[in-house]
Every structure is written in structure tokens, then in C-alpha cells.
A and B are shown apart, each in its own frame.
Chain A
Amino acid sequence: MSITLTKEKITATVKIITEYGGTGIFKCVQCGACSAVCPSIKAGFPVLCRLLIKKLLIGQLEEIIEEPSSWACQACCRCSEVCPQGVKPQEVVFAFRRFQANELAISTASTTSLIDLHATGHAAHTTTYRELRAGVGLPEQPPTTVSDAKGLQEVQTILENCLMGELGFY
């Protein structure tokens, strides 16, 4: 199956990626330096770095919306460090991920962390922490939003007023 290249699709895709933060995408010369150092590509998630940029630059966006590779990006920024063109591929990956997320193409794990973040101020919240903390001689509650109502209120205000607030997770 061949891919039809249209100027409109390419322009629209680059515009969306740029708006979500992948502003360097046009500077890519497809050298592959980024892919060579990417741990997630090594682990078997191919659509990152050079290949993701290639797909986006030919206007593939909706076509790859279910692609899991972007969620396996470690945000390690090895790619951005070595890119000779200043593309900052990690920011392109995250821009694409933001496109997916805002179209609700996300995993249940992300949904749970968002609900926890809103409810407690912590994305990785547990129910057993009090005993663990007391066991090592610490106060049962850490001095964070779990024990500070004002701080939690502030976090909730930000989450309820931001763009994510409209997506209906919490």
C-alpha cells in the first residue's frame, strides 16, 4: 500500500507537532544519530527519533495515533543531546505523545496516575506507605500534599483550570 503525500497533510501535521512543542522538526536531516543512542529503540519500540520524524514529515499523524512507541520513550534526552541539527527529537516525541493524549489515545496506567495526581497530589500514590514509613522511623505522613490541604487545593486548582481539565479524567 503506497502513501499519498499531500502538501496539506504535511503542513497540518507539522503545525500540530510544532504547537505541541516539537518546534525543531523541520531541521531534521534524517542522519539517524538520535536513533543510534535511543534505549527504547534498542528495546524494540521503533517509531521514535528518526523514524517518527520521517513519518510526521510525510504527513502521517492519524495513521499512527495508536503507535505505542512514544509511550515507551524514557524522556532520557540522549537523542536531543547528540542531534547535530538541534532538532531536539525528544521534544518531537513528546509533542506527538501530547497529540495522542489529547485525542485520548492513552493507556489505563496514565489514566490512573492522573486520577491519583488530582486526588492526592501524587501520581504514584500507595495505600501502604504509612506502615512503611513508621517502620523506618519516619512520621507516617510525608510533608507533601497528602498532609497539607492547602497545597493539595493549589494542585487541584491548577489541574481543574488547565487544558487537561477539559478531558474529563478527574
Chain B
Amino acid sequence: MVKYGLFLGCNIPFKAPDIEQSMRKVFPPLGVEPVDMVGASCCPAWGTAPSFDKGTWCALSCRNMAIAEELGVNIMTGCNSCFGILSEAKHFMHDPEVAEEAHELLAKAGRTYTGSADVYHITHVLHRDIGTEKIAAAVKFRQDGLTVAVQAGCHVLWPTDAMAIKEENPFFPHMLKDLVEATGASAPHYSRIEACCGMGGMRTTSVDKSMKILAAKLRSMKEEINPDLIVTGCSSCYMQFDQSQEQLRASGEIDFTIPVLYYTQFLALAMGFDPAQVAAISAMDRSALIAEIQNPARAVQEV
């Protein structure tokens, strides 16, 4: 079994542990073993060290990566911000000035960074190492007939120069679409497929402005493909879609809501795992959707 260090970040283990559980459930049957990175911290988030000092950012990120180096594994993470922060820190370590400051701080903390661990997003591992055929074969409930609006999230798409695996054209991403379609569902293109959801610094700075671009994205999904659900590859996008739609409906910005799942939650449900463990925490009621995903009529017949 291929081992990957599972980098959790903050939002997934503290606010959406059902996403963490879904990752822990789906990977082993697909031949990938997630290994705990004991003592890992925040990546560190964009609003913290990266907003003050590049060397400190890199020291904190490299301390996390050094944990994987010691374990002899590459890293996978389900949070796009963590993926972006770690990938870029790795990239900046080629700048001698930044690297000098980071190495000095790491030495004080008793850690050494060599750069031997690669950083991947979980969709990269699913798409490249596991592959859509294997995913399709592991699905216990086929999702044919369901229409999904995919939301890959910004940090897994750009900047391509800092990533080991990239989309052919990040403005027309297809990895998440392929992964969703491996379950039998369809994930058609819509015009704002690459658009930002408005989470992150934008939301912290102005909830109103953040909600406006979220509403524009939701309307694009609804009018163009009328999806049964949204599937995100980013835990922050997931939280934005889940927590903000009711508010947008209440204020009259939208007159519909679309339930949302993080990709490994969607896959875990399609693989037959218990919704009480893998898709249990949400602001929106998605019980009807979950029942439909695990509808006995969708069960794959054993031959």
C-alpha cells in the first residue's frame, strides 16, 4: 500500500471532522494508506505568518514538511489553502535569502528540512495514483443520473509553477470533474466553473462582497446546469457553500439552495460508508440527497 502523510490543517479536524473521517475511510480500500503526521500544525494560514514575513512562513511550513520527511512519505492534504501554502513555501525555499532565515528558525526548533517530501492535494493522489477506473470499481452505489456542479477551488489551480501536478488549463479544470464522473454522475461545464467562491481573506474583509460573488457563482450553476448537488475539492469552498446559501436565500439574492459535499464525502457515500461518520456535519439539510446517493436502487449488483 502506498503511504501518504495526511496533512490535516485546521478547518478539517476542528470544524469538519466528517471530512477527515471520509478521507480516512476512502483511501485504504483504494490502496493508499494515510499516515498521521504527529505534531503537525497550521500550514500557516494566509492571514498569519505569510502576511508578515516570508522566512517565518517557510519555517512553519517546512517544519510540517519535515515531519513527513522523517516518516519517509509524501504529503497529501484536503485543504486547498494548506496545499497552496505548503507548495509555495517549498517553491520559495529555492530563494537563498528566504531559505537562510527559515533554516535558522528551524534549527532553533530542532528540525531539519531537506525538501524530500512532495506536496499533493488529495484530488491529485486520487486522479494520478489511484485513477478513475479503480475509483469506479470501488463504488457500491452508482451515481448515474445525478448532475454535479464541481468546484475545484483556487489554490489547487494556480500558481502552476509551484505545483508538482497541474491542470492542462487551470481556467478549464477537469480533474475533479473526472473524479466525480467516475461514480457515474455527470459534471457538466458551467461558465463560472473556475470562479472563486469568496471565502478566505475576502470574506474576512467584507461578508457582503464575498456573498455577492458567491451568489453570482451559484446562479451560474443553477441556470446553466441545474445541479442536484455541488461537490468541492476544497474544504474552505465547502464551508462557504454550506454556510452561506441559507443567508443568500433569506436576503432574496437566490431563490433556491443546492446541497454540497466535499469530494471524499461524496465518494465515501458512493462507496457505502456510514453517513453518520462521513457526512454528518452541515448547516444545510442534505438528508434527502444522502438518501438518494445511497438509494438501494443504485446498488451495484455483485457478480
Contacts and interface: CB of A to CB of B under 8 A. Distances in A.
Interface of A: 20-21, 39-40, 42-45, 68, 71-78, 80-81, 90, 94, 97-98, 101-102, 106-107, 109-110, 113-114, 117, 121-126, 129, 132-133, 135-138, 142-145, 148, 150-152, 154-155, 157-159, 161-164, 167
Given A76-B158, A138-B21, A164 B39 contact: no
A158 B59 contact: yes
Interface in B140-174: 154-155, 157-160, 170
B50 A162 contact: no
Contact of B108 (A73, A123, A161): A161
Given A123-B42, A129-B14, A81 B213 contact: no
Given A80-B159, A121-B42, A151-B41, 20 more contacts: A43-B206, A71-B204, A74-B154, A78-B154, A94-B50, A98-B53, A123-B44, A129-B14, A129-B15, A133-B13, A136-B278, A138-B17, A143-B37, A144-B40, A151-B39, A154-B63, A155-B63, A159-B60, A163-B56, A164-B52
Given A81-B160, A137-B21, A161 B105 contact: yes
5 contacts: A21-B54, A98-B51, A109-B204, A110-B48, A122-B14
Nearest to B276: A136
A113 B52 CA distance: 13
A148 B39 contact: yes
Contacts of B277: 136-137
Interface stretch (B123-131, B193-201, B288-296): B193-201
Given A72-B206, A74-B154, A80-B159, A164 B49 contact: yes
Given A77-B159, A144-B39, A148-B39, A158 B56 contact: yes
B109 to A, nearest CB: 4
A97 B20 CA distance: 32
Given A123-B48, A145-B40, A154-B63, A159 B202 contact: no
B139 interface: no
B280 interface: yes
B55 interface: yes
A135 B7 CA distance: 21
A145 B212 CA distance: 36
Given A78-B158, A154-B111, A155-B41, A72 B105 contact: no
A9 B213 CA distance: 37
Size band of the interface chain B makes with A: 35 or more
A132 B36 contact: no
Contact of A158 (B11, B63, B154): B63
B283 interface: no
Contacts of B154: 39, 74-78
Interface string B201-218: 110111001101100000
Nearest to B59: A158
Contacts of A157: 105, 108-109
Contact of B53 (A74, A77, A155, A163): A163
Contact of B18 (A94, A110, A136, A151): A136
Nearest to B84: A75
B13 A129 contact: yes
Contacts of A163: 52-53, 55-56
Contacts of B56: 158-159, 162-164
Nearest to A97: B51
B213 A39 contact: yes
Given A138-B20, A163-B55, A158 B108 contact: yes
Interface centre among B10, B11, B106, B202 (most CB of A within 10 A): B10
